[in-house]
Amino acid sequence: MEQGRYPGRRATVTVEQTIVSHPHCRKKRLGSPAARGNPNHAAFFSRGRRNVPSYNTSDFRKGLKVQIDGDPYLMIECNFVKPGKGQALYKCKLRHLIRNTVLDRTYKSGDSLDAADITEIQAQFLYRQGDTFFFMDNESYEQYELGMDTVDDAWKYLKEGMNCSMLLFNNNPIGITPPNHVVLRIEYCEPAVRGNTATNVTKPAKLETGAELIVPNFVESGEMIKIDTRTGEYIERVKE
């Protein structure tokens, strides 16, 4: 694995920063191989040092996590094709778990793919510092820092103390998923237009995270609302 290939990394924390984290949180030195994505550290996960299981075409199915050219992919579609003559084929669509690009591949019966070393953990969002987001593994108390390119649109819904699902590839964070539903405060929105009782009238609102969301006209600044993070849509007002 080349240096800097995977955007997330274990976090290096200062004494001041550990105030907001768990007292048992492990701290990583900035110069450690794990923190810098050192190629020597990555080699620990290479096939030469660790047995990597593989999947035969008979194992191919939707939801399978595999490696192609060293990168993690999710098999999102797999169709078996048996020509009138010739060898059976497997036509697959695979989504890159970091870049979200889709790859079309055709495999012959008997081909195989290496399994991707993917782990899903529960992590708590600690705080944001510029475009860097700090999380803590709920079990090991180890901290990770993720850049905006890894967090992606999830930043819109992240609130300190929130538990999220984090994907690790070869122990490196590659993605974060917030809960399906979150409750956030409206930081600001224009006052409701009096006399306008139409239920389909909407307006933009700024959330406490800094993100913008379209809400109904009757919603006011300071109110708490429930949001579906999968669609990015307003659900309802929530009483404090």
- Could you say which architecture CATH assigns to the domain 9-45+118-177? Beta Barrel (2.40)
Distance CA 108, CA 48 (A): 26
What is the per-residue pLDDT across 56-78, written as a single tens digit (0 to 9) for each? 999 999 999 999 999 999 999 99
HSE-CB at 65 with a 13 A cutoff on CA atoms is: 14
More confident call, 84 vs 16: 84
The count of other CB atoms within 10 Å of the CB of residue 236 is 11
Distance CA 218, CA 233 (A): 16
Burial environment of residue 26 by CB neighbours within 10 A (0 to 12, 13 to 18, 19 or more): middle
- Could you say which architecture CATH assigns to the domain 181-238? Beta Barrel (2.40)
Domain boundaries, the chain: 9-45+118-177, 54-115, 181-238
Find all residues with CB under 8 Å of 91, minimum gap 6, and list them.
78, 79, 81, 104, 105, 106
Distance CA 116, CA 170 (A): 8
CATH code given to domain 54-115: 2.30.30.30
pTM over 0.85: no
HSE-CB at 25 with a 13 A cutoff on CA atoms is: 25
Are domains 9-45+118-177 and 181-238 of this chain identical in fold? yes
Question: Which segments within 118-239 are labelled E, that is strand?
Answer: 118-129, 132-137, 143-147, 163-169, 172-177, 181-189, 202-207, 212-216, 224-228, 233-238
CB 41 within 8 A of CB 34: yes
What is the per-residue pLDDT across 113-166, written as a single tens digit (0 to 9) for each? 999 999 999 999 999 999 999 999 999 999 999 999 899 999 999 999 999 999
